[in-house]
Every structure is written in C-alpha cells, then in structure tokens.
Chain A
Amino acid sequence: MTLILIVLLPFLMAALPRLAGRAHRRRCALLAACAPALSLALLLAHAPAVFDGTVLQAGGPWLPAIGLNFTFMLDGFGFLFALLILAIGLLVILYAHYYLSAQDDPSRFFCLLLLFMGSMLGVVLSDNLLLLVVFWECTSLSSFLLIGFWRDRSEARQGARMALAVTGAGGLALLAGVLLIGYITGSFELSEVLDQREMLQGHPLFPLALILVLLGAFTKSAQFPFHFWLPHAMAAPTPVSAYLHSATMVKAGVFLLARMYPLLGGNDLWFLLVTGVGLVTLVFAAWVALFQQDLKGLLAYSTISHLGLITLLFGLDTPLAVVAGVFHIINHATFKASLFMAAGIIDHETGTRDLRRLNGLARYMPVTATLVAVAAAAMAGVPLLNGFLSKEMLLAKTVAIDTGTWADWLIPVMATLAGAFAVAYSLRLVHDVFFNGEPVGLERTPHEPPRWMRVPVELLVVLCVLVGVMPNLLVAPLLDVAVSGVLLGNVPEYSISLWHGFNLPLAMSVVALLLGSAIYFGLQGGYNLHLYRDDGVSAKRLFDRLLETTVSIARLVTGGMQNGSLQRYLWLMVAVTLAAGALPFFLDDYSLGDELLLPTNGAAIAMWLAVVAATVATVALHRRRLLSLIAVGAVGLLVSLTFVLFSAPDLALTQLSVEVVTVVLLMVALRHLPATTPVEGSLPRHLRDALLALAAGIGMAALAYAALTRPLASISTYFLEQSVPKGGGSNVVNVILVDFRSFDTLVEILVLAVAGLTIHALLSGFAAPGRGPVPDPHEARPLMLRVLARLILPFALAASVYLFLRGHNEPGGGFVAGLVTAIALLVQYMASGRDAVPGRAHAGAPGPAAPPGEEGFDRWIAAGMFSVGLTGLGAVLIGFPFLTSSYAYFDLPLLGKVPLASAMFFDVGVYLTVVGSTMMMLASIGRVTTVPGQPAGPTPPAPDAAARAVRMEAS
C-alpha cells in the first residue's frame, strides 16, 4: 500500500500549491515540497528490504479484461530512479522558488511539476507494462505543459508542440510494442514477462516488437534522428530543463532500455540498433554542442550526447557494460542537473544566455564559477570526479568489444573522439562564460545569486566530488542493488576505482583530454566560435515541413469530403455503409441454410401485398405530404400485424401505440411545414439514389433470407428458464427489459427523456416568424370528438393501469402503458385544443400534479428517472449490484396472486418517463405559435429559387 502511495502522493497533493494562490511563492514551494518529502520518506522506509534483494510488489486489478492492472514493483533499479526523481525533485523545488519571477504563477508551476513527478514515479515503479505506458504518456503531457509554461512566448509553444509530437508518437510506438509483447507472452506484468525471454525472442513478431519499443525509448531519450525536440524544449523555465530534460524524463528512455534489456537484449538486432544509434548520437551531438551559442543549447546537446553514451553501453550487451550504464545514469544526473541550475543562475543574474555576450563572469560570481568549473570537469571526465569513473568504464568496455568485425576498432575510436569533443565543449562552457574577456552589453552588473538558490548546485557538485573520490563508500551499494535489479540478480564481478594501472582506457582518456583542449583552443583561436552561424538544413525545418504537409493534406481531404451539405454526407454515409456490408458477400460465398421453412398462407400473402402497396404509395405520394403520411401509418399498422402473426404480442402493442403517437406528431408538425414537396434534383442524382436504395434493399433482403434459412443457436434458453425463478414474471420480454437487461432500459428511457427535453428546449416558447398556422381561440372542434374524448379518457387510463399491472406476466408493461396514457391525453388535446392537456394530466393520472403549462411534464420525466435510479440504488444499499431485483407474491383483488417484484418500481419509472417525454414532445411542437402579419415562412421555393437549388445540387 505504501508503495502505491509513493506514486500517488504527488498526484494527490498536486492541487496543494494551487490552494496557496499565485501571490505566495514561498508558501507554494513549501506545499509543493510536502509530497516529494513524504514519498521520499516512504521510499527510504523500503530501503532495507530493497537492499536485501527483495522485489516488493503491490496493487490490484484495474481493467483485468484487457490486462491493465494497477500493479507496482520496487526493485533496486526502480529504487535508484525513484530516489533520483524525488531527491532532485526536492532540490529543483527549492531552486525554482528563487528562480521564478514575480510575473510567473508559482502555483501553476509547482502543480505541473508535481504531476510530472507522479507520472515519472509511475513509469519507474509500474509492474504492469500497460500502466507504464499510461504514465509514460502522462510524462509527455506534463512535459508539454511545462515547456509551454510561458505561454505568451511563441518559441515556448513551438518547442512544447514539437516535444509532444515526437515523444507522443514514440509513446504510440511503445504502446504497440508492449501490446505485441503481451500478445506473444500472454501477460503484461513485467515480473512475469521478464522470465519469457526465449519464447519471446523465438517468435516471428519479435523484431517488430523490439523496433517499436526502441522507437519509444529513442524518441523519449532524444536519440538521433529524434534528438531535435530536446534543444527546442530549452524554451522551458530552467528548473524544468534541469529536472525533466536532463535528470529525469529523458532518462525514461534509457530506463526502458535497461528494464527491457533482460527481455529484449542479447541478439544481433538489439546490438546493431542500440549500439549504432547510441554511437551516432554520442559523437554527433558532442560535435554540435561545441557550436551552440546558447548556454542551455550547449547543455542540451551535451545531454543528448551523454544519453547516447548510456544507450551505447546498453547496446554493447554485456553485464559489465550495464554496470557502466547504470553508473553513468547516476553521475550524469548529478553533474548535469547542477550545470543546468547554474546556467539558470547565470541567466537570472545577467539576463542573457548568449555565449557571445557572456564573458569574464568569474570576477563577478566567483563561487558559481568554481561550481560550474567542477561540474563541467566531471562532464568532461577529469579524474577525481564522478564523470571520470563512468567514462573510464565505458572506454574499457569499448576496448573489450570482440565481434571480429570493424566495430571492434570503430567504437573505441569514436568513443575517444566523442570524449575529446566533450572536453572541448566543457572547456568552452567554462572558458567562454567566466573568462575570455569582458561581458558584452549586459543590462545590469551581475553578482552572486541569493544564498539558498545556490544550495542545490553546491550539494550536487559536492556529490560529484565525493563520488569521484570515494566511489566504493558512497555509491557502490546503490549501484550494486540497481544493477541487480536490471540483470535480475546476476551481478557481474566489477570494481570501481580511480586507478587501474597504466592501460589502454587510461591512455584513451589522456588522448581525449589533450585532443579536446587542442580542438577548443584551436577553434576559438583560429576561427572564433562566436562568429559561427548555424544555417544548414536543420531537423526542425524538416519537422516543420512534415507538419505543414500533413496539415495541408488533412485540410484537402476534409475540404473535399465536407462541403457543408447534409444531403451529400447522407448519401456518402449510405454508400460507405453499403460497401462495408457488401464486402462479405463478395469475399465469402453467399449461401442459404437448409432449415425447414414455414408454409405460406393466404393471410400472409395478403399482408405482404398490403405492405408493398402501402410502401409504394408512401413513395409515390411523397410530394403530397398528408397522403403519404396516411400511407406510412398504414405500413406501421401492417408491421404491428406482422408481429401479431409471429407470436410477439408485446411488440405488436408497442408498435401500434408508437405508430399512433408518431403519426399524430407528424401531423402536428405538418402544420408548420409546406404541404407539398417540390420536384427537384437532376436525373443522374435520382439514378444514383435509386441505385443506392435498390442495393440496400436487395442486400437487406438477401441477408435476412440467408439468416432465416440457417439454424439458430440462441442464448434465449437461459432467459426462458430463469424468467420465473429469478425474475418472478412469466412475460419473458418484460422481465428481460426490467430485470435481466434493466440497465439497457435505463439508458433507453434516458434517451427518450433527453429527446423530450431537447425538443422542449428547441421549440418551447418559440414564436415562429412568418405565415404559419394562426391560432384561433374560437376554432371549432368537432363536437362528436370532444364528447367521445371525454368518455374515452377514463377507460383508456384504466386500460393503461391494467396493461401496466399485468405486464410482468402477460403482454403489457411500462412502455405500452405509458404510450396508452399518452394517447389518451393526446385525444383530449386534439378534441379540446392545446390548453386542455395539462389540466387532464393533472386530473387523470397517477404521479405528481402538473402545474399549468407544458413544463409540468418535466416533473413526470424527473419522477420517472428518479424512480428508476432509486430502484437501482436500493439494491446497492442492501449490498447487491446496481439494479438487482427481488420479488414476493401478493394477493390482489381482481388480479389474483401477483408477484410484486422490485422491478415493478422500475417499470413505474419507465411508465412515468414515457408519458412525460411523449407529452413533452407533443406539447412543445403543438405550442409553437406564429406571429401573424409577417412575411412568409417556409414555403415551397419559387420557380427561380427551385431552379437555383437544382443547379447548386448538381454542382
């Protein structure tokens, strides 16, 4: 549990700095430091167990169906990373407190920083690979927000976007790779997957999985050719650069390499890709770093180069190289974070990071100069500092390569060369900033920073020295346990020491030191690095070009497809659906089954003829709208007769009542629409539509016929058997609706309720401009209808109560009862005018009383949804899942022995919602009033307008 808290605390406490408000920087920083301090304490509490070699695990299932579990694992390697993240995080918070200016919002900054910290901890402590990917994406997102912290600066926004695009794309590749690994090994838990190396590497999909995972690692760790986002990420505030873009986030890539090494390493492809990319990055970035004019740019390229070095070490594929890699991760984090913070101090005190203007600062800030000089020496690999030790190990490992190819000599030579470049750029950093003449055009005289702003730098630099002098005392146990985590306990024999005697690696170190000094002073003296201008083909330009092309292609496609015509979208949609539906017809054979068919009888043929006739009439008469509406009503009635024929009385009842309501609604709407449809559209267009319609019809008929002639394997036996014992009702359809699948029904009536409310919002109180139907208070209502309607109402309501009560055992139920009630009210409406409806609703039906106006029906809907939700929650209250139902038998007069299920209350809710929504729709549409005396509303377009419409359609 405490293990999970280590990761969750930064997330949980991320909002704390927000509480302090932007005006209190100190309070923000203090609150922000709480989470890492607590997490660090928890982590250290686990230290004894971790150093004993146990692997701690915690967590539980999250979405077990897809293999995503909320599981965490703490071993030595995870411990090392968590320690780096939390310790450097604390230092960065302290540093940022002094770094941020009065204009910056510290609460937002620290909140984002904590979110990042939690994500990073999640990456290094996740046991589940999918969870790791989730946190991985979180680091990309929080990095995006932090790079873009100064959102008013365009280079910050661009840099943030570029970092997100590159690392986000890499994250997708990683996800794909992880899914492949899970597919091959059958598990997403790191602790289980790591044992399955043989099986995974023997699989034909292994190379693909390897490349995808490496893509994720390389983009995150800014390896060539994906390195270009990191220099642009330097637009971030410097604490962010120190924390994310040198010490932690970019290390996530090499972390992944190390984590996956036991699983994915040990084959030629791994060696080739990881070593190759690492080597190119190491040399290339070290060379480019030399020519940067921006202080942070130099550090960024140096970071890329060092990440290349670590990548190279993991690529070498020997246990000893892994030791060196892990060691360099620790060392690089200490000296590079201190250098970045020092760069921030210089920027803070002088107002610039331009190496051409920063000169001779040693006189103004001697302490900072000393600190930077020591850290830079560590970066260059000068003896007695930590950088020397790991670099020496690297050189020894490159010498030890024995593949029998040209790589045996190429890699040591390139490594020495990169070492020389590192010496050169470190020299430039120190020499150019603190010596080399006088500062140029500074706005103010620089001086030392506030005391506590320098403390984090001092601490880290002291660590550099101490580790460099006494490696075995300080860092060996941590390194040991971390390496044992990477190599699954098989730690090789190794020794860290300052002096291994005169050997080849030492000679290479000396060569690098001398050559590097020569390169720097040679370049600076003969050529003056300050005059160098970078105007070649940059990766940024390529990236921008790629982005622009993608956007313009997307725009072309969207613009070509979407011209704003709904009619066009509709036919495209039908065509695409049709194509998708037609594909199986052509890929597989279309064949009929050999089930016994039902014999045809005369009634069925008559009904078929009637359906066809009514349908044809609907189409043929569709220009005369009232007639076609009547035809459509006929089709609906015939459909409900079809349900009667095929033993589905529930459907027949529902279809019948829905039909009535729909036709009435359409009739009411027709008062607001033109009575006829004009002739329009070109011949080719009609042909195309006819073709689509015919194809759709033939396809549906063929599909239905094929299915009907094949044998049926239904899961309905379960519902038929369990309906009475479990649901307490013999009407299986109703029991399915209100019990077995009641959640579906809940959402369904929700849809109905939303439809009703939306119609209300669209039309309620809408005064239509134009020549619609003018309300006539003295409009004559047919006397017969008025009288009949009054008479019918009680009977209809009684019928709906009856249908409702018997619904659980006989055809009926909440839906039908609701619709019958609605129809009864509808008849009142038609007979007595719209004002009659709410009054009837008030007098005639159960449920809350409706106040005047159609707004009363929203209460019906609310009461219905409330009743449904309450039924569901009732089950939760007594300890069952949502919507579990129970029942008991009761004796009721007239109806006999009736099982009263809790589902009954659910059905009451269905009833109320159906009545409320239906009446809401009708009342809203019926109440649209028109303002008389204004010019025309929707009328059939005049001939010239029609002609214009035709032309537009044809285009």
Chain B
Amino acid sequence: MELLLASGIGVLTTAGVWLLLRARTFPVMLGLTLLSYAVNLFIFSMGRLAIGAAPVIRDGVERYADPLPQALVLTAIVIAFGMTALLLALSVRMGYDSGTDHVDGRGGGKP
C-alpha cells in the first residue's frame, strides 16, 4: 500500500513539473494543480497510512489517524486553491493585455 501511494505521488509530481515548465499559461495552471495534489499527499503521508482508524475522539477507541498532518494539509488545500485562482486571474488579464497566453508574453500582437 505504501509503495502504491509513494509511486502515485511520484507520477503526480512528474506530470506536474512537466506541465509547469510549458510555455502557455493554461498548462502551467494544470501543472500547479497536479503538483499541489502531490505535495498534499506527501505531507499527509508523513503521518503514515492508517486504514479504518478513527478520525474523531470516541470513548474506548485506541487507534486514531494522525490529526496533525491532516490539519496541515487542510490548510495547504485551501492555500493552493487561492494560489491557483490568483494565477488564473493573472493569466486571463495578461492574455488580454499582451495578446498572447505565452508566459513570457511572446508572440502577441502587442510588445
């Protein structure tokens, strides 16, 4: 199970970095999204994997999932969302301002 998760994180990272390095804004946003999945899963996995562990406190339950990485990842998900949204607004505005969706503003109608 651990190997599955680790390799999944690897696949997501590879795809994320590849898309991040593309020249157009939209693939970059997709890459960032994939990369944030990978990073969130990575942070989450630092609490180790638990199947069927209790997520909330119950009387008589001994085995709990590690809450700390979960709290961290919950924050990370929201921040990643804010970042993606901001990037998106930037690329829409830049697209209109420069006439191209190239990240360096090349090849557009305006300098």
Name A residues whose Cβ lies closer than 8 Å to a Cβ of B.
564-567, 570-571, 574, 595, 597-601, 604-605, 608, 611-612, 615-616, 618-619, 622, 625, 628-629, 632, 635-636, 639, 642-643, 645-651, 654-655, 658, 661-662, 665-666, 669-670, 672-674, 677-678, 680-681, 689-690, 692-694, 696-705, 707-709, 712, 714-716, 719-720, 723-724, 730-733, 736-737, 741, 744-745, 748-749, 751-752, 755-756, 758-759, 762-763, 766, 768-770, 772, 809-811, 815, 914, 917, 921, 924-925, 928, 935-938, 941, 945-946, 948-949, 952-953
Contact = CB atoms under 8 A, between A and B. Distances in A.
Interface string B67-111: 110110111011111111110111111011011111110111100
Given A697-B17, A741-B71, A681 B1 contact: no
Given A704-B5, A731-B56, A938-B100, A658 B77 contact: yes
B56 A752 contact: no
Contacts of B67: 716, 719-720, 723, 732-733, 736
B21 A567 contact: yes
Contact of A662 (B13, B81, B106): B81
A653 B111 CA distance: 45
A647 B52 contact: yes
A953 B96 CA distance: 22
B81 to A, nearest CB: 5
Given A619-B15, A752-B78, 10 more contacts: A566-B103, A598-B51, A600-B4, A615-B12, A648-B65, A707-B45, A731-B56, A763-B93, A937-B99, A948-B106
A925 B89 contact: yes
A622 B66 contact: no
A639 B30 contact: no
Given A604-B4, A719-B68, A925-B89, A567 B23 contact: yes
A755 B70 contact: no
B30 A730 contact: no
Nearest to A578: B17
A654 B70 CA distance: 11
| Interface of chain A, main secondary structure | helix
Nearest to A935: B109
A574 B4 contact: no
B21 A693 contact: yes
Interface string B1-20: 11111111111111111111
Nearest to B95: A938
Contacts of B12: 611, 615, 635, 697
Nearest to A709: B2
Interface of B: 1-27, 29-30, 33-34, 37-38, 40-42, 44-58, 64-68, 70-71, 73-75, 77-86, 88-93, 95-96, 98-104, 106-109
A650 B55 contact: yes
Contact of B1 (A604, A674, A745, A935): A604
Nearest to B101: A938
B72 to A, nearest CB: 9
B79 A751 contact: yes
A938 B6 contact: no
B15 A616 contact: yes
B19 A619 contact: yes
B79 A748 contact: yes
Contacts of B46: 707
B51 A618 contact: no
B75 to A, nearest CB: 5
Contact of B26 (A601, A677, A708, A755): A677
6 contacts: A619-B19, A650-B70, A707-B45, A755-B85, A758-B86, A762-B89
B91 to A, nearest CB: 7
Given A574-B21, A615-B34, A616-B15, A714 B96 contact: no
B92 A748 contact: no
A948 B80 CA distance: 34
A542 to B, nearest CB: 42
B38 to A, nearest CB: 6
A618 B27 CA distance: 9
A541 B52 CA distance: 75
A953 B23 contact: yes
Nearest to A701: B10
B96 A693 contact: no
Contacts of A749: 78
B42 to A, nearest CB: 6
B71 A701 contact: no
B90 to A, nearest CB: 7
Contacts of A564: 104
B13 A700 contact: yes
A611 B11 contact: yes
A566 B34 CA distance: 20
A732 B56 contact: yes
Given A647-B65, A665-B85, A733 B74 contact: yes
B91 A673 contact: yes
B89 A615 contact: no
Contacts of B1: 597-601, 604
A595 B2 CA distance: 11
B75 A772 contact: no
Contacts of A714: 47, 66, 68
Nearest to B21: A689
A945 B56 contact: no
Nearest to A577: B17
A756 B81 CA distance: 11
A38 B87 CA distance: 57
Contacts of B107: 941, 945-946, 948-949
Contacts of A567: 21, 23, 103-104
Contact of A737 (B50, B55, B71, B93): B71
A742 to B, nearest CB: 11
Contacts of B15: 615-616, 618-619, 693, 697
B82 A752 contact: yes
A702 B42 CA distance: 11
Contacts of B19: 618-619, 622
A639 B77 CA distance: 12
A714 B50 CA distance: 14
A168 B90 CA distance: 41
B21 A571 contact: yes
A598 B2 contact: yes
A110 to B, nearest CB: 47
Nearest to A646: B49
Given A647-B50, A661-B81, A714-B66, A618 B30 contact: yes
The winner among A759, A763, A925 for most chain B CB atoms within 10 A is A759
B30 to A, nearest CB: 5
A694 B82 CA distance: 27
Given A650-B70, A744-B75, A763-B92, A705 B2 contact: yes
Nearest to A712: B48
A665 B88 contact: yes
Contacts of B57: 720, 723-724, 730-732
Nearest to B85: A921
Given A597-B2, A700-B9, A716-B47, A811 B55 contact: yes
A187 B22 CA distance: 53
B83 to A, nearest CB: 7
Nearest to B93: A762
Contacts of B91: 669, 673
Nearest to A597: B2
Contacts of B53: 647
B95 to A, nearest CB: 4
B55 A649 contact: yes
B83 A755 contact: yes
A629 B84 CA distance: 13
Contact of A692 (B5, B21, B92): B21
A674 B101 CA distance: 8
Given A608-B4, A628-B30, A708 B23 contact: no
Contacts of A709: 2
A654 B77 contact: yes
Contacts of A741: 71
Given A618-B30, A649-B55, A673 B103 contact: no
A770 B14 contact: no
